Amino acid sequence: MEKATFAAGCFWGVEEAFRKAEGVTFTQVGYIGGTKNNPTYEEVCTDTTGHAEAVEVTFDPEVTSFEKLLDLFWEIHDPTQVNRQGPDVGNQYRSEVFYRNVEQKEIAEKLVSILEQTGLMVATKITPASDFWKAEDYHQDYYSTKGGTPYCHTRVDRFPM
Catalytic positions, written as ranges: 10
Query: For strand 2-8 and strand 95-99, is the pairing parallel, antiparallel, or unpaired?
Result: antiparallel
Whether residue 124 contacts residue 95, with contact meaning beta carbons closer than 8 Å, is answered with yes
Q: Which positions ≥6 away from 109 have C-beta within 8 Å?
A: 126
